[in-house]
Copies of this chain bind each other. A is one copy, B any other.
């Protein structure tokens, strides 16, 4: 099969890879309907995150089950399925508490590489959720979004306790931040403020439910937010970047007793204990337990109540993956969908 590899910083290639096969009786093989490039794929692409030589890429996926292992019971060949970027058994104590991304048997899909024609899905029963039927083609981007960026934005909004009567601020205007806006709106937030300086992203944020845009960032952004809100920070802040600046911006933008939901993968972040202590905020985040939310998200998409697929503003054949990475790196695209 064909699949994407990153040979080194900036060097994306589509190469022949071995077809995946059932390795354990709990595996399934899926034929990819669509894959995509994640903001987190840009860390190694930019050389900020080191990879040891050529690495398979991709951890978001939707597709049709081709084959199942002997112990798989919840999905069957022919099902259209969505899964999370962490495979999980969905039965252990951690999964049952809703933290499937930290399942005691969790496997990272990035190591399998779903920017490819096929993929092996470990722990298929606990990982995959079948849609009610074969989706219309226009639903595929939204279902693919559920696999990571929507699920991650949704988790961030839940972690930030977005809800009725609450003001939500969103740090990060990438796909996850924008879908954090959508999630906050769905969860009933009263006011949604987005930090963004890109007009295309501002436009989509407003379409998803943002009520206010702030173009300043860092401490200037915090000052602008407090001016907007009459002196206090937001009740809920979503952090979807993962840098020192964005984390401190999120913490400082939150009122005492408020909630920060952070999902940007932390890179070189060191949180000062004294400032965190006196901020009196709640801090929760990490790799999103997307599996927790998949049934609800699939239902919302299937019934066309949300359209998260709008974050894909570029669609390319899998063979053109290199251009997909480049467009996102240069901010010419919010998110690239790859068609195998």
Give the interface of A toward B (CB within 8 A): 93-94, 97-99, 101-102, 104, 231-232, 242, 244, 247, 255-257, 262, 265-274, 276-287, 289
Contacts and interface: CB of A to CB of B under 8 A. Distances in A.
A332 to B, nearest CB: 28
A287 B283 contact: no
A248 B278 CA distance: 18
A61 to B, nearest CB: 22
The winner among A247, A285, A287 for most chain B CB atoms within 10 A is A285
Contacts of A102: 256-257, 278, 280
B274 A272 contact: no
A262 B284 contact: no
24 contacts: A93-B232, A97-B255, A98-B257, A102-B280, A242-B277, A247-B273, A257-B289, A262-B277, A265-B277, A266-B273, A266-B274, A266-B276, A266-B277, A269-B272, A269-B274, A270-B273, A271-B273, A271-B276, A276-B283, A278-B287, A280-B287, A281-B286, A282-B284, A283-B284
Q: Is the interface of A mostly helix, strand, loop or mixed?
A: mixed
A301 to B, nearest CB: 26
Contacts of A232: 93-94, 104
Nearest to A256: B102
Q: How many copies does the complex hold?
A: 2
Nearest to A268: B273
B94 A255 contact: yes
A172 B124 CA distance: 43
**Which 3 A-B residue pairings sit nearest by Cβ, starting from the closest?**
A269-B273, A266-B273, A102-B256
A276 B284 CA distance: 9
Contacts of A256: 94, 99, 101-102, 286
Contacts of A97: 255, 257
B280 A274 contact: no
A97 B259 CA distance: 12
Contacts of A278: 102, 286-287
Contacts of A282: 282-284
A279 B94 CA distance: 12
Contacts of A247: 273
A101 B280 contact: yes
Contact of A270 (B271, B279, B284): B271
Given A268-B273, A276-B286, A281-B286, 5 more contacts: A93-B255, A94-B256, A269-B276, A277-B287, A282-B283
A38 B264 CA distance: 39
A274 to B, nearest CB: 5
Contacts of A280: 99, 101-102, 285-287, 289
A272 B270 contact: yes
A238 to B, nearest CB: 15
A62 B272 CA distance: 34
B283 A279 contact: no
Nearest to A286: B280
